[in-house]
Amino acid sequence: MRVSCLALGLALIATSAVAQPRPSTVNMLCGQAAGIVAARGAIVLGTGGFTYDRFVVDRRFCTITQTTEPAWVPTADTAQCFVGYRCKETNTEPRGDRF
């Protein structure tokens, strides 16, 4: 009985951690959204409705095959707030037509 109660308690704790909502930029001021990215280094943020993305402070938080591109998101006080960067795959395909 004691073991099953402990197992149930651990399962509830694990489930509640998964169910936590991600922070949403539309509920933050621009400075708050940029600040959370800077503080965490990399974070997934909601950007309105059911949309979300991963934002990073610099390229260190991307894979070796990726580079960064500036990320602008809607916030409570502005429609276009620079919060940091998104990781983006570099273009590895050759340019031009090959025959």
Following DSSP, what letter does each residue of 8-26 receive, concatenated?
Answer: HHHHHHHHHHHTPPPPBGG
- The range of the structural domain enclosing residue 47 comes to 18-89
- Total number of domains constituting the chain: 1
Structure pTM?
Answer: 0.72
Residue 5 pLDDT > 60, yes or no? no
Tell me the pLDDT band of 91, cut-offs 50, 70 and 90.
confident
8 located within any domain? no
In terms of Cα–Cα distance, which of 54, 50, 47 is closest to 81? 47
Flag whether 39 is in a domain. yes
48: left (phi over 0), alpha (psi -120 to 50) or beta: left
